[in-house]
Amino acid sequence: MTDDCDRDPPLTYYATTPPPRPVARTSSALGPPASATGDARPARPRRLRALLGPAAAATALILLYVLLPGPESGLPAEGRITLVVFAAAVAAWTCTRWDDAFVALTAALSLTLIGVLQSDDLFGALGGEVIWLLIAAFVLAAGLTQAGVPARIAVLLLARARTVRGLVHLLTLALVVSALLVPATSGRAALALPVFLALAKALPERERVIRALSLVIPTVILLSAVATLTGAGAHLITVEVLRAATGTGIGFGAWLLAGLPLAVVSSHLAAELVLLLMTRRADRRIRLDDIGAAELAASVPGQTAPGLDKRGKLSLAITAVVVLAWCTQDLHGVQPAVVALIGALAVAAPRIGMVSLGAALRTVPWSLLIFMSATAVLGAALLDSGAAGWLTAAALGGLATDGDSALVFLIVVVLISVAAHLVLQSRSARSSVLIPLLVPAAGVLGLNPAAIAFASTAAAGFCHTLPSSAKPVAMFADLGETPGFERRDLLRLSIFLAPLLAALVTAFAWFVWPYLGFPLR
């Protein structure tokens, strides 16, 4: 939304009173031209202010380079340069509105030109397995969307609701399931928006309930992304950094086994929290028997019936086979990216497919892929140059490696990851900054790098404080005539949800995940 001062003047102004034409003035007794007086003087301070920021940033980076120790203190020359470039990238992500992919690619290219990275490292990342996995996942999602599978599943679930509380938790279940079908939180939010509008239309004169639903949907979308490896680009960055540092990453099945329970528990607790904060007891007990599946299906664009047609069933079956193959990689040995490509080709096959390959590829967020590749290269540079190891040793070298220190370190990691969205709005950028530093830190303390990286990535899924903190939140923040949540609702939710999620992630990392393949030691 824009302020009144940013809007154009009303058209009637020009119809009744034409704007006065500027009067030409010359350098005479009347004084100098207007451009030489009041109009020209503010331009110079504005130019000075525009130059002051870059000059201060350059000075700070030069000072950082001078203050950093040399090889005699354990920091190689390449590590010193990498830290400076990395600090510049973090500052640009934090303090400017520059595109995240532009910043990451510029930083990676700078390290390549300086000689810290090889050109093969930069270009090889663009063709890596993770990139192809995500491309194929988006093609699969395009086929599912074209067949109307996500919306139809949501309609089928929501039609079974009998009370508002039941509606909210069925909607939560549908959104958790959508994390298994559609990669990227913004794509899931786009699919959920017409479902929400249909619900708002079916619930007239129940504004508190509608406002609660408008906050439940983006909240659950963000929290349930941890269920799968493809749920967010940050997950793939975490896996790539882990693979570069330790030689092994986290497979789709292992991520699903550990992430899905947290996604289910945190999503339903967050939905219940929204209900308690934004509705009254009478609202939560309202009967919804009059809402039918057919009416809801007709209200969602592209849906004509509550059930799945042949194309929807076929696309869902293909996706189920792909997910099953991902989870059983140890049995057949086929890489996840290859499995995903097979499924993508099946979805886009002529005559039997749901969508053409060209149309599906247009849904791929290429900027995100470039950003992921560049940040993965930056993370590898931090590790390979020795910068991350030196920084970790300097910060944690004096800590003991007993159980108390491990728990304290875990809590600190979770709290920093939860609060990181206040500085870095991009979820992928948060993982790009945190994971390369946490992996060697875990090694210093004798902890499992995969467990610490997974806990940090799960906690970094919290980004609910401001509408600008995440795209799904921003999409539901301004809905025009449809009642939606307000900024104060979001702030009130974040006050309770942030400590709740931090406690959940800490509890899962300490008590649950060790039995699901992620021991802390």
DSSP 508: I
At 17, the pLDDT band (50, 70, 90 cuts) reads very low
Tally DSSP H helices, then E strands, for the chain.
25, 0
- One-character DSSP codes across 291-359: --HHHHHHHSTT--SSS--HHHHHHHHHHHHHHHHHHTHHHH---HHHHHHHHHHHHT-TTT-SS-HHH
378 pLDDT band (50/70/90 cuts)?
A: confident
Mean pLDDT confidence for 488-517: 93
When pLDDT is cut at 50, 70 and 90, the band that residue 50 belongs to is low
Categorize the per-residue pLDDT at 146 as very low, low, confident or very high, splitting at 50, 70 and 90.
Answer: confident
How far apart, in whole angstroms, are the C-alpha atoms of residue 188 and residue 196? Answer: 12
pLDDT at residue number 484? 80
Q: Distance of CA 165 to CAs 235, 299, 300, 498, Å?
A: 31, 22, 22, 22
pLDDT at 222 (0 to 100): 93
pLDDT computed for residue 22 by the predictor: 45
Reported as a single tens digit per residue, the pLDDT across 197-217 is 777 777 777 788 889 999 999
Confidence (pLDDT) at 302: 53
pLDDT tens sequence across 29-39: 444 444 444 44
- For the chain, what percent of residues have pLDDT higher than 70? 83
- Looking at residue 5, its pLDDT comes to 41
CB 358 within 8 A of CB 146: no
Confidence at residue 499, expressed as pLDDT on a 0 to 100 scale:
95
Check residue 34 and give its pLDDT: 46
Is pTM beyond 0.75? Reply is: yes
Q: Residue 28 pLDDT more than 50?
A: no
Look at residue 497 in the predicted model and tell me its pLDDT: 94
| Residue 62 to residue 84: CA distance in whole angstroms | 8
Predicted pLDDT at 450: 94
Question: Cα(363)–Cα(256) distance, rounded to whole angstroms?
Answer: 24
Residue 300 has pLDDT above 60, yes or no: no
pLDDT number for residue 432: 84
Residue 398 carries which side chain, given as an amino acid letter?
G
Tell me the average pLDDT of the chain.
80
Q: Cβ distance 270 to 220 under 8 Å?
A: yes
Choose the weakest-confidence range: 26-35, 230-239, 307-316, 489-498.
Answer: 26-35
